[in-house]
Every structure is written in structure tokens, then in C-alpha cells.
Amino acid sequence: MLDEKIRNKIIISADDFGKSELANRNILRLAKAGKFDRVSVMIEGDFDEKEIEEILATGVKLDIHFELVWQKRRRNLLRDNTLRQGIVFLVNYLWGDWPVPVHPRSGAAEVKREWNKQIEKFRKFFGRTPDGISSHEHTHYFPIYFRIALELAKQYDIAFIRFGKKGLLGERNSVYFILKKMRWLNKRKFFRSKLSSSDYFAVLDWIANFEEFLMDLPEGKTEIACHPERKEEYNFILNNF
């Protein structure tokens, strides 16, 4: 287990509640054990009333995990395939969502309606407004969508957004470098919004050596997103936090 001083510098966020029965079960087990600070909910996913009651009872912060329609359609094809997810992310970046969306339902106005609908659905199911905003495959980092996320945060008085006020941490892979660029493009908008975020952001599979990562952990709060549907990440969180 982590030293308490180090643990207090880390925000552990579980992504994809609602993605699958396995994801829900693993997230609930870890949340009940006090392993998470935040859980991101895919409101267009699958969960029942009992699972909603159980995750609410843990007291963990619950964020809306924005998703686009076309992402949901291909979700089953890409499940647990990190390589394919990375390829799709690159394709979307280079030819799809930024700066000109090619998907018929990915125009800015349609996305705002879609994400607004997801927030309303969250409020209906969970009885309250989300505590924060994140997104599947980091969609909200794309500048055309980041503005929408900020507008919805203001509209619904949502205080937190996944961003990383001071930067990103972890292994510098292709997704890392793209997010770093988009974060730089969004930086001025973020600080003008006055929203809260962690000081740094990382994804668990960006971290090759966790002990070395902790040794170089900067001052401030670092959000680490994980995907407990994956066996190795479930076991890592269970045994280290």
C-alpha cells in the first residue's frame, strides 16, 4: 500500500462505469473498498438500479463520462484492445474530429445536444448533477468539443473537469503527445472558465514503472485514470491503493 503522504497527492479515477457487466462489478468492488476518489459514468451504458444505489452509497465523486454516438456503436469491437483504440484515436485526430468532423453526428451543435442529453439522463438516474466531466477516449480534449464541455459545466454548475492544470505525466506515447498539444490549445479557455481540475493528469497504462513514477511525482494533485475492466489494472489498484 502507498504511503499516506503520497496517496494524498493522487486522485484515482475509475473510467467506464456502465461499459459492461464486468466493468461495473470491478468498479463497485474497488469503490466499496475505498480505492477510488472519482468514478466516471458512461450514462449511455448498462447498469441497473441496484448498481446505481451501490455506487452512490460509496460516496465517491461521480463524473459524467461523455461519449459520442459513433463511439458507442463501435464500443464492442474495440473493447480491451488498446492498440486498436490508439489507432482510432489517431485517425479521429488526423482526419475526423479536429478541426472538421467527418462523422454525421459529430458536428459541434449536435454534440452539445447529445452531451446535454447525457447530463439530463445522469440527473434522472442518479438524482443529482455530475461532480465532474471527463470523456471516453479523451474526446473533450479536442478543441471543438472542449468549448462545449466548458459551456455545459457552466450551465449545470459542474465544478470539475479532467484537464491537468500544470500538464500531463507518464510515458510519452502518441496519444500523450496529441493530448499535450490539445491541452496547450485549450489552456487559455480552461483558466478563463475558473473550473477546478487536478494539477496533473495521467492514465495508468501510460506508467511503465510505478515506483519510478512515484519518485518523480511533482507537488500538487495528480489524477490517474484507470480501467478496472482490465484484469491487470483491477489487480494493480486492489493491491497498491
Domain boundaries, the chain: 4-240
The span from the CA of 118 to the CA of 207, in Å, is: 31
pTM summary value = 0.87
Name the H helices within the chain. Answer: 4-7, 21-32, 49-57, 69-73, 75-78, 82-91, 108-126, 143-155, 174-193, 210-215, 231-240
The whole-number pLDDT of residue 80 equals: 47
- Tell me 218's DSSP state: P
Higher-pLDDT residue of 234 and 172 is 234
Q: What is the DSSP string of 45-63?
A: S---HHHHHHHHHTT-EEE
* pLDDT, tens digit (0-9, with 9 covering 90-100), for 131-179: 999 999 899 999 989 999 999 999 999 999 999 999 999 988 888 998 9
* pLDDT, tens digit (0-9, with 9 covering 90-100), for 45-96: 999 999 999 999 999 999 999 998 655 655 555 454 544 555 555 555 444 4
The span from the CA of 76 to the CA of 19, in Å, is: 9
> Helix crossing, 21-32 with 49-57: angle to 10°?
30
In degrees, rounded to 5, the angle at the alpha carbon of residue 227 between the alpha carbons of residues 134 and 58 is: 75
The span from the CA of 170 to the CA of 143, in Å, is: 22
- Compute the Cα dihedral for 69, 44, 160, 199 and give only its sign: negative
Q: How confident is the model at residue 97 (pLDDT cuts 50, 70, 90)?
A: very low
Architecture in CATH of 4-240: Alpha-Beta Barrel (3.20)
CB 130 within 8 A of CB 120: no
- Compute the Cα dihedral for 16, 212, 186, 99 and give only its sign: negative
Q: How confident is the model at residue 25 (pLDDT cuts 50, 70, 90)?
A: very high
